């Protein structure tokens, strides 16, 4: 049962704007033709916006007539999704395709955003995780998780914060995980990275609470974020299907509570309570045993 409390999302970043802006992708960098005119209109930035929870966030904000900048990895149909949102909700959308595991890409993205847009909502949703023996994990595997989950989230927030601070009211929502509340063997790096996100968000909230920028964090469990996650959870039987969260409902709840200024957003209170009540000496071996069975299948 405890395994069902922890979900991870395979989602990262990518951008283009309809009309004039046409970035091209190389192995490591995003090259942007800076032809997009600077606008004074307000925008929301969502990373990991091509699927799962990020896609649902975009839908929820578009329903509220909020202009969007969608960030995700290349080749994930982001252009089509952005156009769909424009047509359905009569909002302005840009999209940006980029690998957020490369720091230089992150810096180029934020430079473009600060040059071209007034931003009042930042949703750091991009994240990546996996299940693997630590001894068999490659340096690239470990580095990618840390770069996307920890470094990219921190750098994007840091670089966009001056932009957010000059708005009369602005919001940051960071997506952590229920995995932030317990270490897990055979995941190791992923829960640690989500613990960072939770702690980072709580500290930044306290630091900025006297400013115009409000900071919130959400710690969801397993969600129907992509076919791989759904397939893994469905194998856990009836209980797995019953506890699997719907990204649309999670996104709706998060946006509602964000605008009501909840600094910690709860979307699965039962799981939250269980994780708070169970001591680490129970959680850790149970979670690790369950995850070990997963990789041995």
| Mean pLDDT by groups of 10 residues along the chain of 297 residues | 45 37 38 49 97 96 98 95 97 96 97 97 95 94 97 98 98 95 93 97 98 97 70 53 80 97 90 83 85 71
| Catalytic residue from among 43, 171, 190, 205 | 190
Residue with tokens 């369950």: 290
Residue 121: name the closest of 168, 87, 74, 84 by CA. Answer: 168
Cα(290)–Cα(297) distance, integer angstroms: 11
Cα(105)–Cα(127) distance, integer angstroms: 16
Q: In sequence order, what DSSP letters do the residues of 100-166 get, joined into one string?
A: TTSHHHHHHHHHHHHHH-EEEEEEE--B------GGG--HHHHHHHHIIIIIIHHHHHHHHHHHHHT
Taking 3-state DSSP, the helix, strand and coil percentages for the chain, each rounded to the nearest 5, stand at 50, 15, 35
Radius of gyration of the chain (CA): 19
* The pLDDT value given to residue 38: 64
Q: What are phi and psi of 269, to 5 degrees?
A: -60, -30
Neighbours of 134 (CB within 10 A): 12
Residue 34: name the closest of 153, 118, 117 by CA. Answer: 117
Three-state secondary-structure class, residue 189: helix
| CA 171 to chain CA mean position, Å | 15
Q: Is 96 a catalytic residue?
A: no
Three-state secondary-structure class, residue 257: helix
Residue 128: name the closest of 287, 249, 13, 234 by CA. Answer: 13
* The pLDDT value given to residue 286: 83
- Residues in CB range of 215: below 8 A, 6 or more apart: 171, 172, 174, 201, 204, 205, 208, 263
Cα(284)–Cα(195) distance, integer angstroms: 15
């Amino acid at each position: 049962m405890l395994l069902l409390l922890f979900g991870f999302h395979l989602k990262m970043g990518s951008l283009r704007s309809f009309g004039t802006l046409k970035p091209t992708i190389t192995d490591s960098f995003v090259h942007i033709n800076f032809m997009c005119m600077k606008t004074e209109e307000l925008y929301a930035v969502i990373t990991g916006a091509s699927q799962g929870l990020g896609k649902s966030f975009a839908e929820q904000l578009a329903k509220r007539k909020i202009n969007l900048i969608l960030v995700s990895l290349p080749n994930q149909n982001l252009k089509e999704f952005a156009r769909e949102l424009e047509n359905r909700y009569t909002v302005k959308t840009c999209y940006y395709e980029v690998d957020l595991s490369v720091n230089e890409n992150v810096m180029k993205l934020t430079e473009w955003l600060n040059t071209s847009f007034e931003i009042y909502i930042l949703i750091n949703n991009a994240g990546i995780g996996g299940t693997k023996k630590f001894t068999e994990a490659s340096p690239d595997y470990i580095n990618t998780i840390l770069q996307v989950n920890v470094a990219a989230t921190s750098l994007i927030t840091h670089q966009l914060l001056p932009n957010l601070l000059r708005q009369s009211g602005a919001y940051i929502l960071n997506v952590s995980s229920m995995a932030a509340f317990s270490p897990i063997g055979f995941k190791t790096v992923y829960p640690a990275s989500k613990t960072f996100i939770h702690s980072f968000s709580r500290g930044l909230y306290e630091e900025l609470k006297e400013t115009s920028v409000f900071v919130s964090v959400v710690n969801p469990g397993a969600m129907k974020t992509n076919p791989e996650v759904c397939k893994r959870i469905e194998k856990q039987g009836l209980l797995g299907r019953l506890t699997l969260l719907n990204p649309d409902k999670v996104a709706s709840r998060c946006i509602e509570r964000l605008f009501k200024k909840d600094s910690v957003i709860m979307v699965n209170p039962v799981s939250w309570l269980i994780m708070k009540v169970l001591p680490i000496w129970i959680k850790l071996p149970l979670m690790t045993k369950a995850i070990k069975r997963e990789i041995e299948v």
